[in-house]
Amino acid sequence: MSGRVTPATAVLDGAGVDYTLHSYDHDRRASAYGEEAAAALGVDPSRIFKTLVASVDGRLTVGVVPVSAALDLKALAAAVGGKRATLADPGEAAKVTGYVLGGISPLGQRRALPTVVDSSAEDHATVFVSAGRRGLQVELAPADLVRLSAADVVALCALRA
């Protein structure tokens, strides 16, 4: 469990979920936060999931995909019954979730947003997501991530070339 409290870890603690926190020294020059976490923690990038906020037909929605892949915006829109999705403005994403860019967690957001987790999460016993700040990841069972974020599970990945 945790000595570092963030809204994400508070949700996990409140639910009595088993999880492990992993911290690393965040390089302020880094802009590929998920790849930085994978390298710093020595974890396969397919197990570290990034949290992306998108606007689906004007409604903010969260897509959670591995850092080894890109979010398929059409798949995200379809998953929530929409037609068109675009990535949200980073400032708006930070304001609505209560987290800084690069530290947005799918758990404990300021405002609950519709959330979709890529189905590849179910291929792993545990996955990593941001714990609510840069340099801090939480490792947990995919089923707990899905349940606590009230997520749907859908194939959302557009593999990188």
| Residue 2 domain-assigned (yes or no) | no
Cα angle 109, 111, 112 (rounded to 5 degrees) comes to: 80
| Residue 73 domain-assigned (yes or no) | yes
pLDDT band at 2 (very low <50, low <70, confident <90, very high): very low
What pLDDT is stored for residue 158 in this prediction?
A: 80
| Residue 151 domain-assigned (yes or no) | yes
| Higher pLDDT, residue 157 or 159 | 157
- The residue ranges of DSSP E strands in the chain, in sequence order, are 20-23, 49-56, 59-66, 69-71, 85-87, 115-118, 127-133, 136-140, 152-154, 157-159
Number of domains composing the chain = 1
What is the arithmetic mean of pLDDT over 142-157? 97
- The token duo for 119 is 């189905």
| Residue 96 domain-assigned (yes or no) | yes
What is the arithmetic mean of pLDDT over 146-156? 97
What pLDDT is stored for residue 161 in this prediction?
A: 45
The CATH number of the domain holding residue 114 is: 3.90.960.10
| Residue 76 domain-assigned (yes or no) | yes
- Answer whether residue 64 shows pLDDT above 80: yes
pLDDT digits (tens, 9 = 90+) for 98-146: 999 889 999 999 999 999 999 999 999 999 999 999 999 999 999 999 9
| Residue 44 domain-assigned (yes or no) | yes
What is the arithmetic mean of pLDDT over 78-92? 96
136 burial type by CB count under 10 A (0-12 exposed, 13-18 middle, 19+ buried): buried
Instruction: Give the other-Cβ count within 10 Å of 115's Cβ.
Output: 23
Report the C-alpha dihedral over residues 130, 90, 65, 59, rounded to 10 degrees.
120
| Nearest CA among 96, 48, 89, 98 for reference residue 68 | 48
Range of the domain at 79: 7-159
Judge contact between 50 and 146, C-beta under 8 A: no
What pTM was computed for the model? 0.93
- The token duo for 9 is 């870890």
pLDDT digits (tens, 9 = 90+) for 33-55: 888 898 899 999 999 999 999 99
What is the arithmetic mean of pLDDT over 85-109? 94
Buried b (16+ CB within 10 A) or exposed e, 52-83: bbbbbeeebbbbbbbbbbbbbbebbbbbbebe
